[in-house]
């Protein structure tokens, strides 16, 4: 059996340990049953964001956005396409900075949309501005060393 990988459930915030060789098998949270490695974008709240950024051992890409931001709205469908393309290699989530202004505190976010890539408890890369899905996927693969 492969070593366990820690993942925070993006729905309930519970830390789960998933065997590394089971990440492609669509693992579910042991507490609430939500999918842990779904190829979709998940909406976060600040508490879950903080916990996942500190804990996740799989790359976590967070889009800091706001509903009034034109470039953010333009990038939203591209971010969804990138989540599907990355499948079980990374998790993509977003947080509404207007609804949760605390989420930007301490993260030095100067403009939106901003993508931050977390892994193993630290920020490993950052990118500002709207991006096409191929650019997002390439950036994640390059910055996190994620296989194609």
Catalytic residues: 69, 72
- Residues with Cβ < 8 Å from 12, sequence gap 6 or more? 29, 31, 32, 34
Q: In degrees, to the nearest 5, what angle opens at C-alpha 55 toward C-alphas 54 and 56?
A: 115
- Name the phi and psi angles at 11, rounded to 5: -95, -55
DSSP H helices in 1-148 = 46-55, 70-86, 133-144
- Residues with Cβ < 8 Å from 140, sequence gap 6 or more? 59, 61, 82, 86, 89, 90, 117, 146
């Amino acid at each position: 059996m492969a070593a366990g990988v820690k993942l925070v459930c993006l729905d309930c915030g519970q830390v789960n340990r998933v065997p590394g060789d089971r990440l492609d098998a669509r693992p579910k949270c042991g507490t609430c049953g939500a999918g842990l490695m779904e190829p979709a974008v998940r909406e976060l709240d600040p508490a879950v964001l903080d916990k996942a950024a500190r804990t996740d051992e799989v790359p976590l890409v967070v889009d800091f956005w706001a509903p009034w931001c034109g470039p953010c709205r333009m990038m939203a469908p591209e971010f969804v396409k990138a989540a599907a393309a990355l499948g079980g290699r990374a998790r993509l989530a977003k947080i509404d900075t207007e609804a949760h202004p605390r989420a930007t505190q301490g993260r030095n976010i100067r403009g939106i949309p901003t993508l931050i890539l977390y892994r193993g408890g630290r920020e490993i890369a950052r990118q500002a501005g709207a991006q096409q899905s191929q650019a997002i996927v390439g950036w994640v693969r390059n910055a996190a060393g994620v296989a194609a």
